[in-house]
Structure 1
């Protein structure tokens, strides 16, 4: 009897061990799904490129470059796209799953529809083509730049820092160019302009977002009749957003630059503004019928415009930033097939654009949620009004920068907008007389409804002292400083780190090859 009981206990223990092993296997398998799908995409990109360029000069190098370009596109999707949909997710205007699907669709559409005119030889502005002696040297430079930029963006995504893929690639091309042609080959005026845009864009984005939020707070949120105020001002904000996006996308898609392009974009933006205001005025009026005079109703009115803004930002980002993945790849294909590098004009193969567009979407779906939560939830608390301010500021700032010819980053502007909204809330909560007056009027109305004597003195809670009050202010800061430091440090490190790593890759590959 004792032996039978002992055997039973031993069997139960063994079965429990098998169960633990099974659970561990499932956990490990889940963690390997995303890398497995990413590797499958890269394998398909290699096969697609091989079938397309089979028999062409330098086909093996082109296929290898296609794999690296696909890897860069995956990293762009994992890192950059979070800035477009993060505020909408953080404001709970859209779920994570819906945001991923929407962003993937609009990123791909933007890349394939409007990305053709943006993709160019990125080395033409940093390292003049006339200084490159032979196509093989250009190919070598672009391969080193792609590898180092991809690894830097991958590392930044891993530590949870949304960095600019544009500046990562600029730094990588700069480093490879220095290693290949020396310091005299660099167009330092272009680098200085890029650095200025790099430093100014988050400040401008933050200031614009704070201004838009200040307008919303003062003209809608802290008005006694919120619904009437929303009917007047929300259509105006929606029209401004639509006009800004229309002008930006027109400028982005123009085949020429200068006053002609600016005039056309202004005309398109103005026409879109008028049309959007007419439509939005009717929709907001219909949507506001029956809503209560409270902030929750305002969130309802801003939800659809915010989702639309996130979709348009994703389209614009796909049109602009697909060049970071396939621009160097297109330059490599052009150099090997055409054997002519003394030109700024590239014929972009369709298969190159497809790899870039699909890679961005796959990277977003696999690895995007982490940075979406960082941008939308972990820097500061967002609602639809604050998130809409970020989206509108991003569109408006990018548009103005495009007119001025400043190379800015949508990443820096969007994240700077989130910072700006958070810091403005800290200042406004502590200093706004309008907010204090509104809260006092609201308290008096509530007391009147409850039948209390409005003139009677009200008991006040005793504060625990100035020191404790200051500690409470610090504890309840609306912007998490730790995330600010991480992100800003990654921004400042991007160009020099990518440049140094690219130079090392160039030198190492030169020695090995």
Structure 2
């Protein structure tokens, strides 16, 4: 390769590395946060903020370890025989194949594993480049394809076991009590202890190579881990327990979140005389759209100008409640389109950039004829700024809960109604207590994802950058620079914020019934599994872990009917198909470019 060719391949490889990281955020990270958003423990926007922070922390402090497996353990470095150009081209083709497949699946809300997409693509590229005999198909001390693909079955099963154990512990300690609310309040520091310990363990145990924590003695690791977890537990006991005691036991509806700083003084806070019910969110999941459901109103509040609105709401509810009358003429795709039109109508009423963008697009449709018609060219340039704004902000304003509710009267809606009916509902006061724990467990899961899945994109990119900057194929063995981890973790967060709703809307409550106590168990089980695999440098799918944990907690309801196994089956099918599709794409791309005529 000439210098200009090196530059060209480096530019293309960098583009696909960023695209792969973007897809990782839109796919795997969105799946990890879907549990918290579906449980209503955290809003979509809050999930974006916390996800960004902890993804970057996990990637920068721990993520370099798993990158080595992607870089050097699937295709041995000596197989390239010092040809840096071929090495760059190989990993560029792998990134192109994996990112293209994952983006197509994400666009169609088909959930696949970005980890296995890239691993399969690298294997396919290896076959096309150096032959099947050079690819590490076996166990290879836990770092070959055999070990990685073994996680396809092990990771969901292990996650299901961890998650179900944690949720059964919550059931035994809290849910089966005659008065579970006090039990939930007083035992909450214990679950903060678990979450804090695991999050600390992920940083300290064998540590980040950049921090040198892996050289510390075992006593140091145990002391720091338990000390930090114990500190989180103590802080929860001092500040969180009094706050939630006043809110859910004393039923003080005047208390605010910032009152938690008063700590034990809140035990002596007198609730209002008319405090009869705790002011907590309703965590129940229903199939009806909340904004179209009928709500009671006094005659004094019904002005003449509101009568039409109430009539419209009644008509909307009738349309939901009587599917046999209203819906036989509409296909399932048309029903989804109807829901999307309702969402767009809501967005057009909003203030700010998203409202302006949606109104501009709605009021300026493209005219008849092709885009090169003069009137369409004018309309296009008028729509262009709104298209950019809408593309950047649409995901932040997407109604995840409405998209997950299902459509009454359709097969999907009937399956979800069956799942909901076989899941026991617990008091909102209890679930509210665990919503705070779930925020911490979600952050732990996001940290674990950043630690593990950053290797998917940064491994190939580090190889491409090293070969481009030095012209030496052996440079792939060099440590991954921190700036590369930071750039790709930021790109992962961008994918979550702008495109993650495509996956969130089909996950969560469509597998089993979600609530904060269930959700924190799922996330904790998945986080433990990811961290265990990460310590052994094994790339494992975070998506598979959280899905396995979701199924495990669903089965804790005591019946198979509490899990939508059709959705689980579709997920498993997409995981399995990812291996041959991504591998074939990578191999074909590499074969075409490697053997293309050149002068």
Cα deviation 1:261-317 (Å, max 9, x = unaligned): 766543332222222222222334312235249721111211122112222322332
CA contact (8 A) 1:206 1:420 kept: yes
Partner residue, 1:507? 591
What SS is found at the alignment partner of 1:63?
helix
- 5 Å-filtered alignment, 1:50-65, equals 58-65=6-13
Select the residue among 227, 246, 266 that pairs with 1:289: 246
Select the residue among 408, 414, 419 that pairs with 2:540: 408
2:224 is the alignment partner of 1:268: yes
CA contact (8 A) 2:156 2:549 kept: yes
TM-score, length-scaled by structure 2: 0.64
Report the RMSD for the aligned CA atoms in angstroms.
Answer: 2.6
Partner residue, 2:472? 340
Cα distance, 1:72 vs. partner?
A: 1.0
Partner residue, 1:330? 462
Select the residue among 85, 95, 102 that pairs with 1:136: 85
Partner residue, 2:235? 279
Distance 2:466 2:475 in 1: 10
- 5 Å-filtered alignment, 1:41-440, equals 58-112=6-60, 114-120=62-68, 122-133=70-81, 134-187=83-136, 188-189=138-139, 190-251=144-205, 253-255=207-209, 264-286=220-242, 287-289=244-246, 291-292=248-249, 295-342=427-474, 345-346=477-478, 348=480, 352-403=484-535, 406-427=538-559
Q: How many residues align?
A: 411
Seen in structure 2, the aligned counterparts of structure 1 residues 149 and 288 have a Cα distance that, compared at 3 Å, is same
Distance 2:429 2:146 in 1: 47
Seen in structure 2, the aligned counterparts of structure 1 residues 328 and 404 have a Cα distance that, compared at 3 Å, is closer
Distance 1:163 1:253 in 2: 30
Seen in structure 2, the aligned counterparts of structure 1 residues 396 and 353 have a Cα distance that, compared at 3 Å, is closer
- Between stretches 121-130 and 312-321, larger displacement belongs to 312-321
Distance 1:92 1:356 in 2: 29
Seen in structure 2, the aligned counterparts of structure 1 residues 194 and 304 have a Cα distance that, compared at 3 Å, is same
- Between stretches 221-230 and 157-166, larger displacement belongs to 157-166
Q: What 5-or-longer segments of structure 2 have no aligned partner?
A: 250-277, 279-425
Cα deviation 1:308-331 (Å, max 9, x = unaligned): 222232233223322212321110
TM-score, length-scaled by structure 1: 0.74
What SS is found at the alignment partner of 2:246?
coil
Determine which structure has the larger helix proportion and give its number: 1
Cα distance, 1:339 vs. partner?
A: 2.2
Cα deviation 1:435-482 (Å, max 9, x = unaligned): xxxxxxxxxxxxxxxxxxxxxxxxxxxxxxxxxxxxxxx9xx322222
What SS is found at the alignment partner of 2:145?
helix
Seen in structure 2, the aligned counterparts of structure 1 residues 153 and 389 have a Cα distance that, compared at 3 Å, is same
CA contact (8 A) 1:251 1:261 kept: no
Seen in structure 2, the aligned counterparts of structure 1 residues 173 and 234 have a Cα distance that, compared at 3 Å, is same
Cα deviation 1:353-391 (Å, max 9, x = unaligned): 454123212211221012123222221121100000011
Bigger relative CO (Cα 8 Å, ≥ 6 apart): 2
CA contact (8 A) 1:91 1:382 kept: yes
Distance 2:429 2:93 in 1: 53
- 5 Å-filtered alignment, 1:474-489, equals 477-489=561-573
